[in-house]
Amino acid sequence: MKQIAVSVPGKLMLMGEHAVIYGRPCIVTAIDQRIITTAELLEESIFKLEAPDVKVTGYQKTTADLGKGEIPKEAKFAELAVLNFLNAYKISKGIKIITKSPFSANFGFGSSAGTVVGIIKSLSELFSVTVSQKELFDLSYKTVLDVQGKGSGFDVAAAIYGGTIFFQNKGEVIESLTADGLNLVIGYCGVKADTVSMINSVESKMKNYKAGIDKIFDNIGGLVIEAKSAILEKDWERLGTLMDYNQNYLEDLAVSTEKLNNMIEGAKKSGAYGTKLSGAGGGDCMVALVSEEKKLKVTQAIEVVGGQVINVTPNAPGVKVENI
């Protein structure tokens, strides 16, 4: 049986959470924790899924039933990615998908978006369908919206393009930034965030206090534009200050938590250039921008308050085909 494997990087949001959903820019970096997706052609018209990292084994249904009936939430991204690909390219074949990830989905590293990108890319290779990066983005982003109804697409873009990118307007702007020298320490707070719930929480605030929330988003967008210049100039101290300001606005939006705040404060006091939560908030991770000299001290400070330091490297390459 013909098989194709691809790998996809995880992501970390550096600047611009929540505001990016409302049209403001963000900056995101791909990280070297990669999801491996294998696609295999089957003789029968069935879909099989093996995703042991999210406790899905032995899942299958006929291809005619894809997208129908009750779909377990752990299988939904994969199933709808396959369905959207087959529909988009008028293909009717049996497919087996296997996904493996070295990192926990709990960390908020974009595993759902990465899974979707990996599946659609592996299927395009399996069926020799030429798919541009933009086409891969559009179909993957559609799939994410089909599942969760909300999202800006920055995590999809990070999975496809890799490196560090400036992103805006649901993928209308995707600009690669030269960010070598970016030195980060990542701390996991021990609580899995519910991204959609956090987005809904901010959306509710937007409905009730639109002028004030719009002002916050405008200010965050301004910080992101300044951060883009700081990254290109490798002015890490300035970037750190901008991250601190971004965190203040996220606290105004009430998406940070006491545990995240304690980790952030510890990292800052231990010499980080700047530090903030990374992602939707309510849990998951914080990120500290550090010099190499302060890295160990910042790591220890995060662990002292109960955070789990995750070793990752930023600026990882985007989706790519692997040898199997």
- Local structure of 183: helix, strand or coil: coil
Residue 190: both structure tokens together: 């021990």
Count of Cβ atoms closer than 10 Å to residue 145 Cβ? 15
CA–CA distance, 151 with 148 (Å, rounded to integer)? 8
Residue 8: both structure tokens together: 């996809």
Is residue 155 among the annotated active site residues? yes
CA–CA distance, 120 with 158 (Å, rounded to integer)? 15
Helix 73-88 to helix 133-148 angle, to the nearest 10 degrees?
140
Which residues 6+ apart lie within 8 Å of 10 measured at CB?
30, 31, 32, 33, 34, 35, 103, 107, 109, 110, 111, 114, 312, 316
Q: Active site residue: 138, 155, 194, 244, which one?
A: 155
Catalytic residue set: 155
